[in-house]
Structure 1
C-alpha cells in the first residue's frame, strides 16, 4: 500500500486522471440507468441524483470534521506545558 501511495505522489497527474475518470464514469453510468422504477420523485426526475447527493454529503462531512477539529480536538504541541 505504501508503494501505491508513493507512486501516486510521484505521478499526481495520473492520480487526478484516475480520480476524475472514475467520477465521470459513475455520473455517466448514473445518467444511463433506468429511472422509471425509482422510489421517489427525485430519483425519477433529477438525473444523477445519488451521485450529486453522495458528493454533497462527502463535502459536508469534510467541512464538519475540519470545523470539529478546529474547535478544540486538535491542540498545539505545548498543550500540556513543560
Structure 2
C-alpha cells in the first residue's frame, strides 16, 4: 500500500480513527487503574491512575511545539539569496 493511499484512507475515515484512538486511550487508563499496583512507586505522580498516559500526551505536545518553534527560527526562512534592505 502506498503512503498516499494510506493518507487518503485515514482522511476519509477520520471520525472512526479518532473514536478508535480515544477508545484505546480509555482502555489503557482503565487497565492502569485496575491492574497496575501502586504499592512500589518511584514518584508521587505514579500514584495517580493515567499518569503515564497524561505524561506521554504532554511530552508529545512539547515535542510538536518545540519542533515548530525550531522550524520557524531557521528552517522556514524565505528562500531569497539577496538581502533587500
TM-score by length of 1: 0.76
Q: 1:38 to 1:72 in 2, by over 3 A?
A: same
Q: Which has the larger displacement, 62-71 or 29-38?
A: 29-38
Partner in structure 2 of residue 34 of structure 1: 37
Partner in structure 2 of residue 79 of structure 1: 80
Q: For the residues of structure 2 that align with 1:58 and 1:7, how far apart are their CA atoms?
A: 24
Deviation for aligned residue 1:62: 0.8
Unaligned runs of 5+ in 1: none
Deviations along 1:27-56, one digit per CA (max 9) or x if unpaired, are 22222222122233322x322211111111
How many equivalent residue pairs?
Answer: 79
RMSD of aligned residue pairs (Cα, Å): 1.9
Q: 1:25 to 1:70 in 2, by over 3 A?
A: same
Contact conserved, 2:45 with 2:51, CA < 8 A, in 1? yes
Partner in structure 2 of residue 13 of structure 1: 15
